[in-house]
C-alpha cells in the first residue's frame, strides 16, 4: 500500500460526508426553514417536534462542517447518528428498508460511513490531529 494514502482516503470520505450533512442542514435552516421542518416532524408524530427540528437542522449543518474539517469527530458523529436514528425510527421505519420506497437504506449507509470515518483515527489531515498534537507537545 502507498504510504500515507489512508490520510487522503479519510479526508475524501470526511469531505463527502460533511458536504451531504451540510447540504441537508443548510436546506433545513435556510431554504425550507426550521419551522417547516418542525411542522413536518409533528405531522410524522415525532415527539417535541420544535426541539427535534432545531436539533436536526443545526446538528446537520454544524456537525457536517465538523466532520468535513475533522473537528471533534466522535462528538459530531454521535450527534449525527442520533439525528439519523430519530429519522429512521419516527419517519422511515414503517416504509421498510428500500430508499426508493421512502425507507431507511440511505440513512443506514450514512450511519455506517460515520462510524467508519469518525471512530477511526482522525488522520493527519484533520483539525483534531493538529489540536491533539499541540496538546501532547
pTM: 0.93
Q: Which residue in this structure is represented by grid cell 426508493?
A: 100
Per-residue pLDDT of the chain (137 residues; tens, 9 = 90+): 445 677 888 999 999 999 999 999 999 999 999 999 999 999 999 999 999 999 999 999 999 999 999 999 999 999 999 999 999 999 999 999 999 999 999 999 999 999 999 888 777 889 988 887 778 77
- DSSP states of 79-135 as a string? HHHHHHHHHIIIIIGGG-S-GGGT-SHHHHHHHHHHHHHHSS---TTSHHHHHHHHH
pLDDT at 3: 56
Q: How far apart, in whole angstroms, are the C-alpha atoms of residue 124 and residue 127?
A: 8
Close Cβ partners of 121 (under 8 Å, ≥ 6 residues apart): none
Q: Is 119 exposed, middle or buried (0-12, 13-18, 19+ CB in 10 A)?
A: exposed
Residue spans of the domains in the chain: they are 8-136
pLDDT at 1: 42
Amino acid at each position: 500500500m502507498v504510504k500515507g494514502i489512508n490520510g487522503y482516503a479519510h479526508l475524501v470520505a470526511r469531505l463527502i460526508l460533511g458536504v451531504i450533512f451540510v447540504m441537508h442542514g443548510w436546506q433545513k435552516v435556510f431554504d425550507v426553514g426550521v419551522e417547516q421542518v418542525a411542522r413536518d416532524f409533528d405531522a410524522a408524530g415525532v415527539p417535541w417536534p420544535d426541539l427535534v427540528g432545531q436539533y436536526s437542522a443545526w446538528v446537520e449543518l454544524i456537525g457536517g462542517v465538523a466532520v468535513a474539517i475533522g473537528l471533534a469527530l466522535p462528538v459530531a458523529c454521535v450527534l449525527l447518528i442520533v439525528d439519523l436514528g430519530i429519522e429512521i425510527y419516527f419517519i422511515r421505519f414503517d416504509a421498510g428498508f428500500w430508499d426508493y420506497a421512502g425507507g431507511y437504506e440511505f440513512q443506514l449507509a450514512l450511519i455506517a460511513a460515520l462510524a467508519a470515518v469518525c471512530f477511526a483515527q482522525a488522520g493527519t489531515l484533520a483539525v483534531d490531529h493538529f489540536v491533539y498534537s499541540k496538546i501532547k507537545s
